[in-house]
Structure 1
Amino acid sequence: MQPAGDEEAAPKQRVQDEIRRDIIFGSLPPGTRVTETALATKYGISRVPVREALRALEAEGFVESKPYAGSTVSKIPVDDAEDLFFVREALESATARRAARRAAAQFDSGAPSSEWWNARKLLAGILDEGDAAVAQNRLDLLPELNIRFHLGIAELSGSSSLTALLRQIAGKIEWLYATDVDNRGKESWGEHRSIIAAIDAGNFADAEKLMANHVHQSKEGYLDRFSTEQS
């Protein structure tokens, strides 16, 4: 029998994930007023988990709440973009380096663990899904696949600390990525194959360098586009 706390947490987490996803992909644009009643109806759930989800999303920066004004969807964090990319570059360079070192150790042992193989197979599936999305020009599918790929690299690194840190900013990264996917989505996705190849080869120096450049190019492309739109 599942503990009562787990039963209560499940609906809250589900609706939190669904609201966050709708914000990231534009179904709930910035400035949209969100009420417990409307969201409960939309997602087919009671108001209590919706209330808890909105509090959590406010802590994440996706929702703003003001006294007597209720809750609204926050603005896309363009002012924080450069800092978010800076943190992301440091984190993901480290995860790629560690993932390559771990891959080398797995193959040197002669028998990679089932845990490692399962994580690697998941990444292979994500890459195939992304390649298919690019071929079909379904760029709308790339933001979610992109964050799944990067979190997959973190899992492959075997570092729970780095994975947890990346998860903390993953939603904001996905939000920024979704706004720029039409401009750099195909090119950015294609860079993933070379990163995973360096990891598989156990080449930690190349894996770190390729990941750092990958994130840096995403940052430059986003900031250049944003500055052009504001000029």
Structure 2
Amino acid sequence: MQQDASEDAPPKQRVQDEIRKDIILGALPPGTRVTETALASKYGISRVPVREALRALEAEGFVESKPYAGSTVSKIPVDDADDLFFVREALESATARRAARRAAAQFDSGAPSVEWWQARKVLAGVLDEGDAAVAQNRLDLLPELNMRFHLGVAELSGSSSLTALLRQISGKIEWLYATDVNTRGKESWTEHRSIMAAIDAGNAAEAEKLMAGHVHQSRQGYLSRFASDPV
């Protein structure tokens, strides 16, 4: 089993990742009051990194803090969903296109780089984990795996700028995905194999088209559901 990278992260980053994950998966629902003392006890850490983590999560939009009222978990960003999906579709279409072009270049060179092979191997593992989760009906595992897949494609693109931009919104995307995972989770996951096949084949136009369609379908499904079922 692959070691969780968060195990080697600094205390603040580790607890920040844990709190964010609990918010995304609903263990800390919107409106929940969160205190440094309670969170320090929950995660077995001192209050200082918790305080720093809450400030960072507030900047990300996961936590709201008000004077004399403390901190609470933010509402799921339904109002921002359309804009987030719009940005995501543009970003991820570009990363898929660039990833396919880079794959073609790697194989044309006759000796793909170790860095590229390692990134592709990680993605293969993510796809296998997701397939197993779907087979076992463990849909709760898909939000994180979905995020890892899409960030993995961005890594394969070789564009540090596009990858950085996607990372900035990846948490919100995972949050939205988690709220809708029982509706489109299985179907959405199976689409990843086709996207990956186009990338491996070096077919930039097809990879771009499939990724754009994949994100667009997620957007349409999410918005049609939550337009009449506000969170």
How far apart in 2 are the matches of 1:140 and 1:51?
28
Pairing of 1:60-139 with structure 2 (within 5 A): 60-139=60-139
CA drift at 1:227: 1.4
Q: In structure 2, what is the equivalent of residue 221 of structure 1? A: 221
Letter in 2 for 1:229: D
Question: Partner letter of residue 171 of structure 1?
Answer: G
1:183 aligns with 2:164: no
* Structure 2, unaligned runs of 5 or more: 1-8
Aligned-pair identity (%) = 88
* Structure 2 match to 1:33: 33
CA distance in 2, matches of 1:98, 1:42: 42
Per the alignment, residue 22 of structure 1 pairs with 22
- Residues 42-57 of structure 1: matches in 2 within 5 Å? 42-57=42-57
| Counterpart secondary structure, 2:10 | helix
Unaligned 5+ runs, structure 1: 1-8
Question: What is the aligned partner in structure 1 of residue 153 from structure 2?
Answer: 153
Letter in 2 for 1:34: V
- TM-score (norm: length of structure 1): 0.95
Deviations along 1:83-122, one digit per CA (max 9) or x if unpaired, are: 0000000000000000000000000000100100010011
How far apart are the structure 2 equivalents of 1:135 and 1:41?
35
Question: Which amino acid in the other structure matches residue 229 of structure 2?
Answer: E
Amino acid corresponding to residue 201 of structure 1 in structure 2: A
**Runs of at least 4 residues off by over 4 Å:** none
After superposition, the C-alpha distances for 1:156-181 in whole angstroms (9 at most, x for unaligned) are 00111111100000000000000000
Output the CA distance in 2 between the equivalents of 1:229 and 1:50.
33
Aligned pair count reads 222
Q: Secondary structure of 2:227's match?
A: helix
1:102-145 per-residue CA deviation (whole Å, 9 max, x = no partner) reads: 00000000010010001001111110110111111111111010
How far 1:228 moved relative to its partner?
2.7
Structure 2 CA distance for aligned equivalents of residues 221 and 35 of structure 1: 35
1:197-212 alignment, distance < 5 Å: 197-212=197-212
In the aligned structure 2, how far is the partner of 1:80 from the partner of 1:229?
A: 15
Letter in 2 for 1:60: E
**How large is the Cα RMSD of the aligned pairs?**
0.8
Q: For residue 170 of structure 1, what is the amino acid of its counterpart?
A: S
Match of 2:5 in 1: none
